[in-house]
Structure 1
C-alpha cells in the first residue's frame, strides 16, 4: 500500500463527481482557459491485482498441498512462495459460502442460509442479498478495478434464473463484474455445459469429441481476459474470480488424467485416510499432536463393501483425483499467464481449495448417473451394471459421483462432510495466499482462525480502500469479516477473528477463542426416512480448539458450564445474523407457495414460443407422474421438415418431440439406459398443421409407464408405449428448448448442431391431465434431490 494521500472520497460509491470551481472563459482560445485533464478512475497507488480461485466440493484432505492423494502442484507452488492457512473455514455449502465470500458478510446476513432452491421468505433464507450489503466486486469496480468472473454462480434466486431475469443477482448485472462467462446453478456437465456470456446464453465453442472441457474453456477465457486487460489498461488493477465447477459432481475429466492414479486407491478409504493423516503430519499442515477422528457408524467400512463393487469404487476415486489435478493444472495456466505478464509479484492470490467439505451426496455405492439416485432408481445401477460401465466413469457418457466413503476420506482428519456445518469436516478448507509484494515470508504456515467472510475486508485493506458507507445511494451495513492482513507479516499474531457461528439445516456450531461447541442435526446422505430430533433435543459436543485440532476429544461431559455458555453465545450470534428461525423442513421449503417465494410456473398449462430455451426444470410445468399432451402449431415447408419441436432434459434423462425425415417422433429417454420411441406412420404434409402427442399415464404410483398417441391435426398417425418414467427429475443442468436443443440431446437421432427445426413453429403448449400422482412423492425425497443437486 502507498502512503500517498488519495484525492478521492471513496466512502460513498459511486464516487461523487465534484468539479472544482474555477474561472469559466467565454472563448476556449483564451489563454486563461484551463481544465484538468480527464483521468480514468484508479484505486489508490499500490493497490494489487486480485485473483480469487475457489474450487468446488474439495475436502481438506484431498489436495496434495494439504497432505491428500490428489496432486495439486499449482497449490504447492503458491504455498512454497506464499502462506498456507490450515484453519480457514467456509459455511459447509456452496451457495452460502460464495455469497459470504463475495460480500464479506455471514451467509444468513445476505439471505443465503441454504441453497437458492430451498429459499423461504425468512430474511436469512430468502436467497436475496439486501442492497445494504453491496458485493465486493461492485465496491472494487466503483473504485477503479477491472472485474471479471469465470465459472459457477449459484447465488441467483431460482425465480430470477430464467432468460428474462431480472438480472440483479447475476454476476455481470447487479454483482459488480464487468465480465461473466460461466454457468448459473449448482452443477453442470463438464463436457457439454449450459453457458452464459453475461446474461446471454451461448453454446460451448467445441464438442467433447473435439477435446472440449469446461474447466479448460473457463481458463482460456480467464487468461485471454487478463491479457487483454493488461494490454489495454496496464495501469488499472484487475479483480478476477475464478470458480470452476470442478470438483463438484459429475466428476468429468479426460481419461488420461484419471489413469494417472490407476491402482492407487485399491486399498480403500480407511487405508487412504490413514495415509493422508500421516502425510499431513509429515508436511506440518496439521499439528504434530492432532488426532485422526474415528469413522462413524453411518459410513460403511471398506472391508464391508461388496468385493465385486470395489473395482468400481476404486475407479470412482481415480476419476475424482484426476479431476482435481486437472483443475489445479488449469489454475496453473492462470498463474503462468499472470507471471508472463510480469504482474504476479503485484497480484494478491487467494487459492481456496473447496467451498465446503467433500461431498457425501453420492450414496455409499456412488453413481454412474446421479439421476438414478435422484429418481429413487438407484437399484437399476446394480454391481453388474456398474462394472460394465467402469471404463466410462468420467467420460461424456457418464454423470458420475463417488461414494460417501471417499468423501469422508477426503475430509481427513476431521469428522463428517459437506452440509455438516457443526464439524470441521464440513467447514474447514485449505487455503493458500500468495502476494510477493505484500509479505516477505515464503512457505509460511498460518494457524489463526479465519473464515471466508474475511477475504473481502482483506482485499479492501490491501488495496487501501475504505469500507463503503454508501453504495448506489444505499447506506451500507458493516462488513462482518475480519481482515487477514495482520497475519501476512506475523505468523504468531494473536487471532482477531475469535468468534464465529455456523448453521446449515439445523447442523450448528460456535467457535469462540479456541473453543468450539457443535451439534449435528442431520446426516447429509440420510435424507429419506427417520425422524429428526427436536432442536432442543440435539446433543451438543465441546472441543478445545487450541489442543484438539481435529475435534477428536469431546469434553461436553467434563465441562457442562462452558458448553452451556457457548450454546447461549451461539443463540445470540444466530439472532444477530439472521440464522433464526432454524428450519429443517423439507416439502414446505421446496413448494414455492408454502416457502413464500415467487415461482414462474402456474396452473396446468404452459405456452411456449419458438426460440425460447435454457428454461430450467423449475420454470416448466412438470409432466411427471401424470397424463399430458404436447400440442404444436407448425408449418412444414414443401421440401420436407426436420428438427426439434420441443425437448426437455438430455442424454441422462428427458423427452423430446421432433421430426425425422418428415415423420414426427416422440422419444422418452429413461436415465440414459433405455429409449422408448414412438414414430408417426406417415410423413407430415406440407403446410400448417397441429402436431400433437398425447401421453396416457398408467397410474398406480410413481414412475409408471403410459401409452403414446401421435396426431396430425385430429387424425391419429402413430401409437407407442413408454414402459417406465422418471418420477422426480430429468436433469440438474439440462433445460427445455423450443425449436432446437442445447446441451446434450435426448436422443442420438440428431445432434445439437442439427436440431434446429427447418419449418416454422407458431407455438407449443403443454397441458397436464388431472391424474397427478405428484402428491404421492415423499416430501423428504424431494428435499434430498434438491440438496444433492447443489
Structure 2
C-alpha cells in the first residue's frame, strides 16, 4: 500500500545516522509549543493480566486510574523479546530490517546488536519537531559507543544499556556496570548508596521534567526494567504479598481470567475451555517447589506494585506542574510474561546454555536459598506456571510467537481527544506508534523513501474517533524468529504472520526445539490458538507463508 505523504525535507542517511544533540538542534525549524507532551512507559516481562485494570490482584492504582481514564488496547502486538520490540516501537519497522547484529559482549555474553545508523528513530523525529527528549530506563538498542542514546537524539538520559542487570549497585552478569548518563559511562561506585533501578529511573525522569523549559513540548521515554528477571526488591517491600500465592498458579489463572472477563479486556471468544497448561499441575509439585515458586511470585508482584507507585510519582509531578492534561500517556508491556525457572535451578537453563550463547549467569556467586530471594545476590524468576497464568487465555509466553508471547496489555490516555473507559480490540502493532506520532506532530522529518519504508500506520484519527478505520483490509504483520531474514525460497524458518483473521506460526514448542509445520489459526474465533486449521486450508497457509517471506524480510 502506498502511504499518504505530505511535503518533506530530505536528509542524507549519514546526517540521520550520525546526528547527536547538536546536529538535531540545527534541524529544528520552529518552536511548536502547542504540540502535546508525550510520555511512553514500558514494563518489561509483564504478562497480559499483571495489572489491575487487565485482571490482576496486584495493587496498581496509578496505572489503573490512567487506564480507565483512557482507552485500553487488547489487541496490540509486540514481539517475543525485549530488543526486537523496542526496535519496532522506536523505528516503525520490522526488527530484521533495522537491527545490525553485532558480536556478543565479551564479559557478560549479552547481545551487542544496535539499530543501523541510517534508520530514523522516534526521538530523532520528535527532536526535529521542537521536542525536548528525555529517557530513563533500559535502552537495549546498542551498548557500544556511537549507538547509545546520546548518538540517537536524546537530550538527557540515564540508561541501562544492556538487556538485564542487578537492580542494586552491584555486579550481576559481569563486573561491568552498563549504565550511562548523558554520554558518560558510569561505574557502580558512581551510583547513589540507595540506588534501586526502578526508583532511580523515576528520580531521573522527575528531575528532567521539573527542570524542563515549558516553552517547548517534551518526549519522555521510561522503559522500566521491572519486573524483568532477576526479581529484586528493597528489603521493606519483600513481604508485601507474603502468603498470597500459596494456592498456586492453576487457581490464579482461573481467578485472573474471571476478573479480566468481567472487566471486558479479553477478546471475543476467549475462554479456558480448550486451554492446555504447559506447566506441571500445582498439586503435583513438591512442597519445596511450591514454596519457592509462590515466593518468587510474591516478589514479582511487589516489583509491579513498586513500579506502579513510581509511575504515580511521575503523574504527581505532571499534575503539580499543570502538564498532565497536555500529555499523551502510553503504557505498554514489551511482550508476554517471562517463564524462566531460575527459582528452582542453579545450573544451566535455556537462557544461559552454550547452545544459545545467552547471558553467563555466575551461579557460583548466587545465593538462591529461599530466605535470600529478592536480595541483590539472588537470581530468580517466577517460572512457567505463574508466567502462563498471566498470559492465559492466550498460549505461550516471552520468547515465543504465540499470542501469549506477542500480545501486550496497553492503554493510551489523552482526555482532550480520547474518550476514557473504553476497550479497543483493533489489531495494532508496535510499528504503528512511529507513524502515529508523525501524524500527531505533523512531522516533515522523514524523506519520502523513509516514510514509505515504515511498516506501521497512523491510528490517531481512528483512536480519536475521526475515522472508522485506518488501514486496508489486506494489511499483514509478520515476525521472523531472531533478527535474520530467511533466505529466498526457504520454507523451514521460524516466524509468524497475521493477516485479517488468520495467523500462521512456525516455531518450536520449546526454546531449543526444532521447527514445527506451519500452523494456522482463526484469531477471531480462536484467540487462544487451540484449533490448528492448516490441514483444512493449505492454500491459505501457502499464501501467508509467501507474504511473510516477501513482505517481512
Same fold (TM over 0.5): yes
Deviations 1:58-82 (A, max 9, x none): 1212222211233322221111111
Match of 1:532 in 2: 514
- Tell whether 2:185 aligns with 1:201: yes
**Are 2:492 and 1:517 equivalent residues in the alignment?**
no
**CA-CA distance at 1:340 after TM superposition:** 1.4
For normalisation by structure 1, the TM-score amounts to 0.59
- Corresponding position of 2:547: 569
How far residue 239 of structure 1 moved from its aligned partner, in angstroms, is 0.6
Shift of 1:569: 2.1
For the structure 1 residues 43 and 291, does the alpha-carbon distance in structure 2 shift closer, same or farther, using more than 3 Å as the test? Answer: farther
1:303 is matched with which residue?
283
Deviation at 1:277, TM superposition (A): 0.9
Find the residue that maps to 2:157 and give its secondary structure. Answer: strand
Give the structure 2 partner of residue 107 of structure 1.
Answer: 95
Could you list the per-position Cα deviations for residues 97-125 of structure 1 after superposition, in whole angstroms to 9, with x for gaps in the alignment?
1111111111112126x89749xxxxxx9
Q: Quote how far apart the aligned CAs of 1:318 are.
A: 0.4
The residue aligned with 2:463 is 488
Residues 236 and 330 (structure 1), Cα distance of their counterparts in 2 relative to 1, 3 Å cut = same
Distance 1:206 1:181 in 2: 12
Asked if structure 1 preserves the Cα contact closer than 8 Å seen for 2:70 and 2:420, the reply is yes
- 1:116·1:154 contact (CA, 8 Å) conserved in 2? no
What is the rounded CA distance, in whole Å, between the counterparts of 2:7 and 2:546 in structure 1?
41
CA 1:156–1:116: 2 relative to 1, 3 Å: farther
- The aligned residue for residue 157 of structure 2 is 180
Pick aligned residue for 1:47 from 27, 32, 35: 35
- Of 342, 355, 360 in structure 1, the residue corresponding to residue 334 of structure 2 is 355
Structure possessing the higher relative contact order (Cα contacts under 8 Å, 6 or more residues apart): 2
With over 3 angstroms needed to count, the CA separation of the structure-2 counterparts of 1:449 and 1:245, relative to structure 1, is same
2:486 counterpart residue number: none
Distance change >3 Å, CA 374–CA 289, structure 1 → 2: closer
C-alpha contact 1:67 1:276 (8 A) present in aligned 2: yes
CA distance in 2, matches of 1:91, 1:462: 24
Give the structure with the higher percent helix: 2
How many residue pairs get aligned? The number is 504
Deviation at 1:400, TM superposition (A): 2.0
Does 1:435 pair with 2:406? no
Q: How far apart are 1:546 and its partner, in Å? A: 2.1
Relative to the length of structure 2, the TM-score reads 0.83
SS at 2:150 equivalent: coil
2:423 alignment counterpart? 445
Q: Tell me the residue number matched to 1:242.
A: 222
CA distance in 2, matches of 1:186, 1:294: 35
Q: Name the SS for the 2:300 alignment partner.
A: helix
Q: Paired residue for 2:322? A: 342
**Quick one: distance in 1 between partners of 2:541 and 2:273?**
21
For residues 254-653 of structure 1, what are the structure 2 equivalents within 5 Å? Answer: 254-287=234-267, 289-292=269-272, 299-352=279-332, 354-362=333-341, 366-367=344-345, 374=352, 389-421=369-401, 423-439=402-418, 441-466=419-444, 468-469=446-447, 478-490=453-465, 493-494=468-469, 496=471, 498-505=475-482, 506-521=493-508, 523-524=510-511, 527=512, 532-533=514-515, 538-574=516-552, 578=553
Q: Secondary structure at the match of 2:91?
A: coil
Deviation at 1:541, TM superposition (A): 2.0
5+ residue gaps in structure 1?
1-7, 15-37, 119-124, 579-790
Over 3 Å counting, the alpha-carbon distance change for 1:55 and 1:243 in structure 2 is: same
The answer to whether the 8 A contact 1:42-1:236 is kept is: no
| Residues 206/184 of structure 1: CA separation in 2 closer, same or farther (3 Å cut) | closer
Alpha-carbon distance, 1:431 to partner: 0.7
Matches within 5 A, 1:735-754: none
Cα distance in 2 between the residues matched to 1:149 and 1:372: 31
- Measured on the aligned residues, the alpha-carbon RMSD in Å equals 3.3
CA distance in 2, matches of 1:249, 1:403: 10
Which 10-residue stretch deviates more, 313-322 or 479-488?
A: 479-488
More strand by share: 1
Quick one: which of 208, 221, 228 aligns to 2:211? 228
Deviation at 1:144, TM superposition (A): 1.2
CA contact (8 A) 1:510 1:570 kept: yes
| Matches of 2:389 and 2:188, distance apart in 1 | 34
Shift of 1:86: 0.3
> Equivalences for 1:146-161 in 2 at 5 Å?
146-156=132-142, 161=144
Q: Determine the C-alpha separation between the residues in 2 that align with 1:48 and 1:302.
A: 48
